[in-house]
Amino acid sequence: MQSDNTSKLRILLLGDIVGPAGCAIFQKHISRIKEKYKISGVIVNGENSACDGRGITVKLMNFFKHNGANVVTTGNHIWAKKEIYQYLRENKDLLRPANFPNECPGTGVTTFTIGSSVIGVINLQARIFMRDNLSCPFKAADTLLTFLKTKTNIIFVDFHGEATAEKMGLAYYLDGRITGIVGTHTHVQTADERILPNGTGYITDMGMAGALNSMIGMKKDPIIQNLITQMPVKFEVETEGPMVMSGVFIDVDINSGKALHIERIYIIDHDIKLN
């Protein structure tokens, strides 16, 4: 499906980038993907991109921006690297979930421009099986949309959460009011991408960029030991290939803000060597 640049935009959204493996496959393939699919803008979740798989650094933000990301979203690991706090205070191209307390550094909503079109982005975190003391993501979305709708009708939401029901619930709640809502956090790409009845593009989880033969991008053996023994273990980023990168692109009608098409991206690369 080709985009008509006069009336449509095509936005690429990528799931959690995990450690050096995720960064390597992102850097290698992002230019080719943008060219092949005629991508207009890029939104990527970078909360696991640090070398240890937890958090993001200023250097990594510069890396994502240099490689074409317009906005970087995050989730529950946003606070893992304290050096990013000042960046969050001073910049709006890196988001933290909007339903964290207002006293936290940064913002959960931003815009960027493609040509004459303004694109809104909201970052929210779910509560089921996560931090249930966060503000309600449904009510937070309502508040943010009141603000964003004065600027644009093209709006994307990264909903960082564990439970599929919570993700689906927010998607149906926002259907017709936003262009697209994509799930992150589980690192496993789901096969339920679709346009909801009122015109919002949706997928429960976009997956990740990282080592294919891993568990959420981490080495398998320690996690398996944890599952068997219930003893604490150190999670380590897997750097052995092959590598995988997944996400979706969504075509949007500029005039209506409705999603016209959503399609999964899934790349496996056997050639990247980090060790």
Furthest-apart CA atoms within the chain: distance in Å: 58
Instruction: Indicate the length of the chain as a whole number.
Output: 275
What are the structure tokens assigned to 4, written together? 């008509």
66 among known catalytic residues: no
- Answer whether residue 6 shows pLDDT above 80: no
In the chain, the amino acid numbered 46 is G
pLDDT in tens, 146-184: 999 999 999 999 999 999 999 999 999 999 999 999 999
Looking at every residue in the chain, the average pLDDT score rounds to: 96
CB 126 within 8 Å of CB 159:
yes
Q: Name the phi and psi angles at 112, rounded to 5.
A: -140, 165
pLDDT value at 62 more than 70:
yes
Q: Where are the beta strands (DSSP E) in 69-195?
A: 71-73, 109-114, 117-125, 155-160, 180-184, 194-195
What Rg value do the Cα atoms of the chain yield, rounded? 18
Cα–Cα distance, 250 to 182 (Å, whole number): 10
Residue 205 to residue 186: CA distance in whole angstroms: 7
Tell me the pTM.
Answer: 0.95
Instruction: List the structure tokens of 222.
Output: 């320690």
Residues forming a β-bridge with 43: 13, 71
Token pair for 127: 């509560």
For 79-123, write each residue's pLDDT tens digit.
999 999 999 999 999 999 999 999 999 999 999 999 999 999 999
Domain boundaries, the chain: 8-213+241-269
Whether residue 275 has pLDDT greater than 80: no
CATH number of 8-213+241-269: 3.60.21.10
Residue 132 pLDDT: 80
Of the residues 29, 77, 185, 187, only one is catalytic, namely 77
